[in-house]
Every structure is written in structure tokens, then in C-alpha cells.
Amino acid sequence: MVERRRTALVTGCGQGGIGEALVKEYAKHGIQPIATLLPNESADHLDRAGIMHFPLDVTKEESIIQLKKDLQAVTKGFLEILVNNAGIAYTMTAIDTDVSAVQHMFDVNVFGPMRMVHHFHDMLIMASGTIVNIGSVGASYNASKAALHHWSNTLRVEMAPLE
């Protein structure tokens, strides 16, 4: 029987960022990394490293659905690790804040991971997988990541019986 290779899906793997570093580390440790980038981002750095990658916009449901179809073909329906790393920062003083920019940031930083978990939870459950949500600090950006942190705590409780 051929043993299936463990897989890690990492969102937001632009050049020089945390996502790129994570997929390279997963590869070093024998875990099949699968990277995502915005459709308009260059993937040259991932191609040079031999990292499989797919386009993804976490604010677009159809983009996530297509990614899931692509991953099911590659992983046979199993996903051991989902790293919600994709994020954008918007830093401005409170009185000068552009609310529409903050709404977009929340769409990426909070609702994006929610969409990913909604669509990939079945693959994670099949593999007894793990969800990692990357947070940070910094004004409105911090507020979006704090919301993600609290949502993650609830998700942990909900998913625990499914291990």
C-alpha cells in the first residue's frame, strides 16, 4: 500500500513573506506544501523552489470553490494543515480611517479564513487536520486579527469533538 503524503495548504504566499517561508519549511520536513497567491501575483519564487501553487482570492467564494476542486484532485480529499496566512494591513489614525479600506481588510483577514474553514472543514476532518490562523498587531489591522483570534477560539471548541 502506498502511503499518502501529508499536505499543508498555506494562503498568502507572496515573495518574501511568512507564507513563502512556511511552504519552504513544510517541504524540508517532508510535508507536501501547497501555496496560494492572488491571481495577479508572480509565482516565480515558488516555481524556483518547486512548490505547487494555485491562484486564490479569499474574498471570492468562487475562487475558494475552484481551489477546493483542484486540491481534492491532488490530495484525494485529505488536508492535514490549513494555514490561513493571507492578510492585508491598513494602518491609519482612528480619526483619519477610511472605513471602506478597513472593511476590505476585514473581508480578507477575518471573513477570508472563515470562508476557507467553511469550504475545507470536511477535508480537514477526514485527515484529523489542524487549522492555523496567523495574527499580528497594528491599529485596525490588529482589530481584524483580534476578531480572527476570538473566532478561532470558538472554532477550536467546535472542532474538538470531531478529532
Which residues does residue 32 pair with via DSSP β-bridges, in sequence order?
A: 7
The residues, ordered by sequence, that sit 6+ positions from 48 with a Cβ below 8 Å of its Cβ are: none
CATH number of 7-162: 3.40.50.720
Q: Tell me: the pLDDT tens digits for 93-130?
A: 767 889 899 899 889 998 999 999 999 999 999 999 99
Least Cα distance to 83 among 15, 7, 161, 150 occurs for: 7
Q: Tell me: the pLDDT tens digits for 50-82?
A: 999 999 999 999 999 999 999 999 999 999 999
Which positions are catalytic? Answer: 141, 145
Instruction: Assess contact for 8 and 31: CB atoms under 8 A.
Output: yes
Least Cα distance to 63 among 104, 21, 11, 27 occurs for: 11
Quote the pLDDT of residue 137.
59
Q: Tell me: the pLDDT tens digits for 137-155?
A: 565 677 777 888 888 888 8
Q: What is the pTM of this model?
A: 0.87
